[in-house]
Amino acid sequence: MRKEVVLITGANGEIGHGLISHLGESGDTKIVAMDVQPLDASLLPLCERFIQGDILDNLLLGRLVAEYDIRTIYHLASILSTKAEYNPETAHRVNVEGTLNLLRLAVEQSSWQGKPVKFLYPSSIAAYGLPSLEVKKKAGKIKECDWCAPTTMYGCNKLYCEHLGRYYSRYYRQLAADEVKHTVDFRCLRFPGLISSVTIPTGGTSDYGPEMLHHAAQGKPYACFVRPDAKLPFMVMPDAIKSLLQLESAPRENLKQMVYNVTSFSPTAEEFMVRVKKAFPNAVITFEPHPARQNIVDSWPADVDDSAATRDWGWKPDYDEQRAFDEYLIPSIKARYA
């Protein structure tokens, strides 16, 4: 008998840390974790197995199919927006071909199991592309189908992979003589900027928020790479994990769409700074906007409409801005760097 497991790619990334801690501590899920980097030692005991390897390695993925009954895939591995702009073709390979490999693995697993494998995919506000700051200011909370014209390689990759997920769920090999019965149960969240008290993001464009906070907590000066009025939606990691798990467990028949916005609060960079300075009065924070990264932030929405997630699977964040800082970020970051 093959062991029933969930597969987590990008396990050593920010969401991977949060998800493995949560699933591992609750104890009843066997996790096979994968990452190109070694896994944080604290997460190893929570996993059935860790494989240091590449999602582009099809031989490795093939061996996984043979060894495990994979019920759910959390495909978290990806190259984020800023890093992707430095090597767009590599980003395309990892973000798109890597996702394609995992979708193929999911289809194969589904046909062995005789039922669809759940495929949880974190997309991003980067899938949006607003043409100007004026439009962004007027747009308000934007819906999943609005302004899907991304300006970054990462955003293009995310949007395309959402379409691939839909294709693999509904239309995979639609002309094949044999009916393809069991495909993938693709479920996707468009995440805002995420902030964790445990990990520091690398390679993203919404990183100025978490970077500001982690620098201040360590007594390091921080030069923010966007203007004080730059505005993006954010969410703290416990809510990101909650949304992934809630979407995973939602009854399929309730899901009227495959892609859902989720969000929590939308501070400007200046409002973010004020909160950080309230907690760390000696923090030295300056604004030195990087024009190209600022342009990316200006093309992303200031807020998103997550009412479809609320309607279909009861989504509601636990942390608004005040609670996120007072009850999660500040106490836990202070403890971390004490």
Question: Of the two residues 101 and 123, which places its CB atom closer to ligand AKB in the complex?
Answer: 123
Q: For the chain, how many residues are written?
A: 338
Residue showing the smallest CB distance to ligand AKB in the complex: 204
Q: Is 221 helix (H, G, I), strand (E, B) or coil?
A: coil
Rounded to the nearest whole angstrom, what is the least distance from the CB of residue 309 to ligand AKB in the complex? 17
- Enzyme catalytic residues: 154
Strands (E), 53-146: 68-75, 117-124, 141-142
Contact 57, 82 (CB under 8 A): no
Rounded to the nearest whole angstrom, what is the least distance from the CB of residue 98 to ligand AKB in the complex? 16
Give the CB-side neighbour count of residue 173, counting CA atoms within 13 A.
Answer: 12
Question: Of the two residues 183 and 266, which places its CB atom closer to ligand AKB in the complex?
Answer: 266
Question: Of the two residues 101 and 196, which places its CB atom closer to ligand AKB in the complex?
Answer: 196
What secondary structure does DSSP assign to 131-167, as a single string?
S-HHHHHHH-EEPTTS-----SHHHHHHHHHHHHHHH
For strands 117-124 and 222-224, give the pairing: unpaired
Contact 154, 80 (CB under 8 A): yes
Over 4-32, what HEC string results?
EEEEEECCCCHHHHHHHHHHHHHCCCCEE
Q: Considering only CA atoms, which of 192, 125, 207 is closest in space to residue 162?
A: 125
95: amino acid identity, one letter:
N
Rounded to the nearest whole angstrom, what is the least distance from the CB of residue 78 to ligand AKB in the complex? 8
Question: Of the two residues 143 and 173, which places its CB atom closer to ligand AKB in the complex?
Answer: 143
DSSP state of 265: B
Strand partners, 6: 31, 72
Question: Of the two residues 32 and 159, which places its CB atom closer to ligand AKB in the complex?
Answer: 159
Rounded to the nearest whole angstrom, what is the least distance from the CB of residue 45 to ligand AKB in the complex? 28
Rounded to the nearest whole angstrom, what is the least distance from the CB of residue 185 to ligand AKB in the complex? 23
**Main-chain phi, psi angles of 170, to 5 degrees:** -115, -30
Rounded to the nearest whole angstrom, what is the least distance from the CB of residue 190 to ligand AKB in the complex? 9
Count of C-beta atoms within a 10 Å radius of residue 207: 21
Contact 257, 299 (CB under 8 A): no
Q: Is 95 helix (H, G, I), strand (E, B) or coil?
A: helix
Question: Of the two residues 99 and 206, which places its CB atom closer to ligand AKB in the complex?
Answer: 206
Rounded to the nearest whole angstrom, what is the least distance from the CB of residue 201 to ligand AKB in the complex? 6
DSSP state of 36: S
Cα gap 296→291, rounded to integer Å:
9
Q: Contact residues for ligand AKB (CB under 6 A)? A: 80-81, 124-126, 154, 193, 204-206
Question: Of the two residues 158 and 187, which places its CB atom closer to ligand AKB in the complex?
Answer: 158
Q: What angle do CA 70, 115, 94 make, to 5 degrees?
A: 45
